[in-house]
Amino acid sequence: MKKIFLTFIFATLLIFAKAQTLTSFVQAGIGFNVESGRGYLIFAEYGKTWKWLDVSLSADYESMFPLGESYSGGVTFYKNGIYHIDIDNHYGGVSQIDLMLNARIDIIKFFTANSRHALKIGGGLGYAIEQHVESQRFPYDSTLDYSLDANSTYCHLYVQNKNLWTGALRASYEFDITPKLTLGAFFRGSYMPCIGLSIRRNF
């Protein structure tokens, strides 16, 4: 993966070295997971455009919190002053920050330079910081007191962090509101597929 990443950077710099005119842009957006509907993505991006090619650096934050929750159980009282609470409650999720170098080709502007529409397809390579969190509550018996405030659950929390090389596909449709301002809809995400809306400012 590192060799591919370095080759990708070299090819990008070579294209920029031969380009006559470059324009800068910043772009930001928010999207939601298309698989579960509970995760979300927020991204910010800075890049350069040459004709029909966008090359950028982006920071994506992907979150799957909460991954899912379930509640079930009951309470049993006994004559000897002991009660039992049976609760099953699970909470977990994954969050990830991606720092990526991206390249996208505008298919429409590849054929016509004056269109206000853009259909971009490409991808990115970069580094991800990933965090897994799992929390589980386990029941146990407690002695019943007069105020019924005995602690009846034990909570276990598990956190794991990972750093890894990652890749992602990028696709978007964008429309130029003005020569400087663009609104778009995108499909992106390295950990989970997300769709959403973006806004772009050209300089």
pLDDT tens track for 157-193: 567 888 888 888 899 999 999 999 999 999 998 888 8
pTM, whole model, 2 decimals?
0.72
Triad 64, 132, 58: Cα angle to 5°:
60
pLDDT at 143 exceeding the cut of 60: no
- Give the burial string for 48-73 (b: 16+ CB within 10 Å, else e): bbeebbbbbebebebbbeebeeeeee
Q: What distance in Å separates the CA atoms of residue 29 and residue 31, rounded to the nearest whole number?
A: 7
DSSP 13: H
Q: What distance in Å separates the CA atoms of residue 11 and residue 34, rounded to the nearest whole number?
A: 33
Q: What distance in Å separates the CA atoms of residue 174 and residue 196, rounded to the nearest whole number?
A: 12
- Domain spans of the chain? 2-202
Tokens, residue 126: 């970069």
pLDDT at 147: 43
pLDDT by residue (tens digit) across 77-118?
566 655 555 555 555 678 899 999 999 999 999 899 889 999
105 or 72: which leads in pLDDT: 105
pLDDT at 68: 46
83 CB-side CA count, 13 A: 15
Confidence tier at 20 by pLDDT (50, 70, 90) = low
Q: What is the CATH code of the structural domain delimited by 2-202?
A: 2.40.160.20
